[in-house]
Amino acid sequence: MDLGLTGRTAIVCASSHGLGRACAAALAQAGSRVVLNGRDAAALGATASELRDAGANVLTVVGDVGEECVQQALIDAADGRVDILVNNNGGPPLRDFRALDGAAIHAGVDANMVTPIRLVQKVIDGMIERRFGRVVCITSGSVKAPVPGLDLSSGARVGLTGFLAGVARQVAHANVTINFLLPGLFETRRLAGVHAFNAQTNGVSVEEAAASARARIPAKRFGDPQEFGDACAFLCAASSGFITGQSLLIDGGAYPGVL
């Protein structure tokens, strides 16, 4: 399927590993030039090399996406012409809500709410002028169903979703869309941390915690990041301009609600 993304430029934040990397790979495969980002220069370089070997046109910006100078460097790498923005960042560590002090709460809100909003502010007017823009925010299934230990993550991401829900309606007239991808449990580094937290909390081994999590998913497996990346590319497609303000949960059926 031709997604109509040839020649587009995408910034994919936090994309040296995991879900961000998968989104970058799918967008590159669809013909977009992709700006990758991560704090570890070696890991970012290795990912860039692998994507280039597969034929991708990629640039890299090393640094913490929460820093204004890194955000500007991402936009500069795209020559100021950002057609697609995939907002992603590390999630807060799993922690009992009682253990969060004020600084930790502010850091979580900054990473998972303020940073993506700041990036949208910086790229949205160019998208409106050019009459094309796709913003995809990677949030979490915890937006729909809270997860013990991820209260800060849920709170910040629900805040982001609410903030951008209004923005989405203000920019839709210009073929600029803003949508949210909500991962359930996907096979990434992050998931290993979730298993470790659950093992400690429940007094079981990491393997038992992983097996129990897998068994609770109707699909009886964890998600493959490539499936996630493909969904991201679909939301960015030229033909997806009538889909906006939506939260797409990708969780193998784990969320039990009808809607």
Ligand X SMILES: NC(=O)c1ccc[n+]([C@@H]2O[C@H](COP(=O)([O-])OP(=O)(O)OC[C@H]3O[C@@H](n4cnc5c(N)ncnc54)[C@H](OP(=O)(O)O)[C@@H]3O)[C@@H](O)[C@H]2O)c1
Q: At closest approach, how far in Å is the CB of 186 from ligand X?
A: 4
Burial class (CB in 10 A: 0-12, 13-18, 19+), 42: exposed
The Cα–Cα gap between 138 and 8 comes to 20
Among 186, 229, 240, 252, binds ligand X (CB under 6 A): 186
Stretch that binds ligand X, among 18-26, 202-210, 212-220, 240-248 (CB under 6 A): 18-26
Q: What are the Cα distances from residue 143, in Å, to 6, 28, 54, 180?
A: 32, 28, 34, 10
Q: At closest approach, how far in Å is the CB of 204 from ligand X?
A: 19
Q: At closest approach, how far in Å is the CB of 198 from ligand X?
A: 12
Q: Give the residue with the Cβ less far from ligand X, 88 or 240.
A: 88
Amino acid in position 219: A
Q: Does 240 bind ligand X (CB under 6 A)?
A: no
Q: Does 71 bind ligand X (CB under 6 A)?
A: no
Among 11, 28, 38, 252, binds ligand X (CB under 6 A): 38
Element (H, E) at 167: helix 151-171
Q: At closest approach, how far in Å is the CB of 188 from ligand X?
A: 3
- Region label for 87, one of left (φ > 0), alpha (ψ between -120 and 50) or beta (otherwise): beta
Q: Does 16 bind ligand X (CB under 6 A)?
A: yes
Give the strand pairing for 57-62 and 84-87: unpaired
The residues binding ligand X (CB under 6 A) are 14-20, 37-40, 43, 64-66, 88-91, 138, 140-141, 153, 183, 185-186, 188-191
